[in-house]
């Protein structure tokens, strides 16, 4: 169970993953040694998956964000595994969610342009075994994008 210092560490690192241990400790009100021990424990226990740099997609010429709704013929492992293997292979496919509703999977895909998307769709996704159909929605604007989780909803330990 996490306490308020653990939540504060996670919240601070969500905003700036490059904080030094000293800056992090100052920000949350601990000295550096206990802050480092807590951070190490949070990493070891899997609360922190990794540290990455979030790139500006436009600067690296990735201009099209698409959400593809994929319907499968069935949910048998021999059908799903080749599809999921294909999904994992393409870096353009940023996220894959198994969903409820009218489709089976929702993919977030980012590409250079519409031609790149069409090529990925027609030569890869639609060729995967068991794919019945793909319906695409294109993102026109992104008024909100965040990677920060709402930690205020996280239950605190009794030691808070």
What does the pLDDT look like over 86-122, one tens digit per residue? 999 999 999 999 999 999 999 999 999 999 999 999 9
Q: CATH second-level architecture of 4-45?
A: Orthogonal Bundle (1.10)
CA dist., res. 8 & res. 39, Å (int): 11
Looking at residue 152, its pLDDT comes to 79
Among candidate residues 65, 138, 141, 132, the one with its CA nearest the CA of residue 102: 132
Looking at residue 157, its pLDDT comes to 63
Looking at residue 159, its pLDDT comes to 53
Give me the chain's average pLDDT, please: 94
User: Could you report the per-residue pLDDT of 11-42, keeping only the tens digit for each?
Assistant: 999 999 999 999 999 999 999 999 999 999 99
Instruction: Tell me the domain boundaries of the chain.
Output: 4-45, 57-139
Predicted model pTM: 0.88
Question: Is the separation of the CB atoms in 15 and 44 below 8 Å?
Answer: no
- CATH 1.10.3720.10 is the classification of domain 57-139: no
User: Could you report the per-residue pLDDT of 63-73, keeping only the tens digit for each?
Assistant: 999 999 999 99
Two structure tokens written together for 68: 């593809």
Question: Is the separation of the CB atoms in 86 and 124 below 8 Å?
Answer: yes
Question: Is the separation of the CB atoms in 33 and 24 below 8 Å?
Answer: no
User: Could you report the per-residue pLDDT of 43-83, keeping only the tens digit for each?
Assistant: 999 999 999 999 999 999 999 999 999 999 999 999 999 99
Instruction: Decide if 4-45 and 57-139 have a common fold.
Output: no
User: Could you report the per-residue pLDDT of 1-19, keeping only the tens digit for each?
Assistant: 899 999 999 999 999 999 9
């Amino acid at each position: 169970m996490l306490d308020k210092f653990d939540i504060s560490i996670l919240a601070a690192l969500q905003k700036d993953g490059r904080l030094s241990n000293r800056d992090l400790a100052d920000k949350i009100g601990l000295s550096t040694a206990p802050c480092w021990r807590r951070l190490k424990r949070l990493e070891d226990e899997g609360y922190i998956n990794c540290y990455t740099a979030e790139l500006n997609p436009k600067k690296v010429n990735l201009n099209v964000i698409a959400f593809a709704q994929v319907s499968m013929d069935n949910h048998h492992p021999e059908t799903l595994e080749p599809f999921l293997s294909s999904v994992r292979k393409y870096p353009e496919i940023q996220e894959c969610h198994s969903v409820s509703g009218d489709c089976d999977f929702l993919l977030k895909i980012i590409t250079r342009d519409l031609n790149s998307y069409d090529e990925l769709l027609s030569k890869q996704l639609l060729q995967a075994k068991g794919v019945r159909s793909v319906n695409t929605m294109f993102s026109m604007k992104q008024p909100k994008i965040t990677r920060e989780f709402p930690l205020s909803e996280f239950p605190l330990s009794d030691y808070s």
